[in-house]
Structure 1
Amino acid sequence: MPSTPPGPADPAARDFVSRGRIDVEGRLVDASNVTLFCAIELDGVTGRVVYKPVSGEKPLWDFPDGTLAGREVATAMISDACGLGAIPPTVLRDGPFGPGMVQLWVETADEEVVDVCAPDEVPEGWRVVLQAQDRFGDPAYLVHADHPDLRELAVLDAVVNNTDRKGGHLLAGTDGHVYGVDHGICLHTDPKLRTVLWGWVGEPLPADAVEKLRKLRADLDGRLGGELAEHLTKPEIRALSDRTDVLLAEAVFPQPGEDWRAVPWPLF
């Protein structure tokens, strides 16, 4: 292993996250569940990870208790299996406070990919998600970059039924990729898609995303479907397959539903 820690796109990163010794350095206080910033060391190499112990998960009315860490891992498994979207290496393992989700920390660039701004301040080429008013009554737009990584994450969110894709869950890494994080409330059987990435509604899915969806659908009938059973119920895996089938049949970015709030709050 090199003397510097592996980055999120490095194949060695998963082993690093899986086997390294974790030491808690602090807590991310803005998170709704216990989220710990940690050092990790393996064979003399030190890096950083996020650790979310199952014991620190708050109960939710619509998700079974103690399943959020497994849903984060399952979403990463789905992304890894078909190459759809970029998620930092993510595992379920023991830590200082028991079993939990451990994910490689992403070093971020000084760059925003989601913003709220005045109509005349929308960056060129960005997609407008919604129009609203700020607290002074002036018009404000929710916008996001037209970035290929964001497009793929929008497709992934539709597949995994992400109910909380906030702007703060999209990280522009120093390596040029945009990574998605915080996938604890995904993969429910009921439609719950809530996201800030609605900028491509009704447009055709990119051809490479369609190919990745086809691979995912085949994998769900094979090894991946069996491996996901460690984290998801049979109805949840079946609903995942059904959503993939619908996306492949329609081949367009989905529209917001009418029976639930389509944008998370807060937005970031």
Structure 2
Amino acid sequence: MEPLDPAVPGLLHGGRLEVTGRIVNASNATLICDIEGDGVRARCVYKPIRGERPLWDFPDGTLADREYASYLLAEAFAPDGEPIVPPTVLREGPFGPGMVQLWIDTDEEHELVDVRAPGEVPDGWLTVLRARDSLGEPALLVHADHPDLQRMAVLDVLLNNADRKAGHVLSSCDGRVYGVDHGICLHEEDKLRTVLWGWVGQRLPTELRATVRAVRHELDNGLCSKLGEHLTRRELRALSERVDGLLTRPRFPEPSGYGPAIPWPAF
């Protein structure tokens, strides 16, 4: 099912969930489900709140709300009508309330973030980090210079995404790029950790500056109230400050220096 299919919202909210598997390497309980309703069927991801692993720096039981709040912000950040984040809802499920998100089929032959030897970096790709592999050979963390990745990088700045791993960047079978796993976003303190640092210091393209202005408009016209059901006042204030900061200085930021700039593991 395509994310823009008009049946998706109703299906995610009201469809019957049947658990068919689990992503075992996820930090929190992440269940794969079939969802069906009114003759429509799709696959989705279900993350029950009771399966969230406690974190020292995020309040317990808030990750599902942060996933949904991230989707709401991604909607405001979608000038073409299709958010970078797949359709996401909060609802009851087989193991209690949690986040339900449409599954995205991926094209594994078109990865957009990778580790390559210095002589094997594709033309046009951007270098994020220079390191050495387990054998002591030089290795580079790189990503494509792709407009959808640029959009994701700017959205991550607004989300204050603390966990943009390479595995959270999905290249879909229809050629779109999606970001997933936004449970540790929207903290009031600066926690941006990402593999998408390739444009550091560059000026935001005109269309992305316009998109940030559109987000400011949405925040002033109802979005803050919606987000306020899932975030604290301090978190909302910090979000507003990040938006205004990008409008004042419309450049891709540098790492803050107050913690690791890249999540671990990076993939």
> For residue 3 of structure 1, what is the aligned residue in structure 2?
none
Which aligned pairs between 1:6-17 and structure 2 lie closer than 5 A?
Answer: 6-17=1-12
Q: Assess if the C-alpha contact under 8 Å between 2:77 and 2:155 holds in 1.
A: no
Q: Assess if the C-alpha contact under 8 Å between 2:48 and 2:98 holds in 1.
A: yes
1:206 Cα offset (Å): 1.5
1:53 Cα offset (Å): 0.2
Unmatched 5+ stretches in structure 1: 1-5
Within 2, Cα distance between the matches of 1:128 and 1:9?
Answer: 33
Which aligned pairs between 1:177-216 and structure 2 lie closer than 5 A?
Answer: 177-216=176-215
Query: Quick one: which amino acid aligns to residue 67 of structure 2?
Result: E
Q: Assess if the C-alpha contact under 8 Å between 1:86 and 1:153 holds in 2.
A: yes
Within 1, Cα distance between the matches of 2:227 and 2:203?
Answer: 29
Q: Assess if the C-alpha contact under 8 Å between 1:53 and 1:98 holds in 2.
A: yes
> For residue 20 of structure 2, what is the aligned residue in structure 1?
25
Alignment of 1:246 onto 2:245? yes
When the two chains are superposed, the root-mean-square deviation of aligned CA atoms in Å is: 1.0
1:146 Cα offset (Å): 1.0
> For residue 101 of structure 1, what is the aligned residue in structure 2?
99
Superimposed CA distance per residue, residues 50-109 of structure 1 (whole angstroms, 9 cap, x where no aligned partner): 000000001111100000000000000001023175110001111100100000000111
> For residue 116 of structure 2, what is the aligned residue in structure 1?
117
Which aligned pairs between 1:128-207 and structure 2 lie closer than 5 A?
Answer: 128-207=127-206
Superimposed CA distance per residue, residues 171-208 of structure 1 (whole angstroms, 9 cap, x where no aligned partner): 00011111000000000000000000000001111211
Query: Quick one: which amino acid aligns to residue 99 of structure 1?
Result: P
1:218 Cα offset (Å): 1.7
> For residue 42 of structure 1, what is the aligned residue in structure 2?
37
Within 2, Cα distance between the matches of 1:218 and 1:62?
Answer: 30
1:9 Cα offset (Å): 3.2
Within 2, Cα distance between the matches of 1:101 and 1:88?
Answer: 12
> For residue 255 of structure 1, what is the aligned residue in structure 2?
254
Taking only the aligned residue pairs, the percentage that are identical comes to: 58
Within 2, Cα distance between the matches of 1:156 and 1:212?
Answer: 10
Query: Quick one: which amino acid aligns to residue 22 of structure 1?
Result: L
Q: Assess if the C-alpha contact under 8 Å between 1:9 and 1:88 holds in 2.
A: no
Within 2, Cα distance between the matches of 1:10 and 1:253?
Answer: 33
TM-score by length of structure 2 reads 0.96
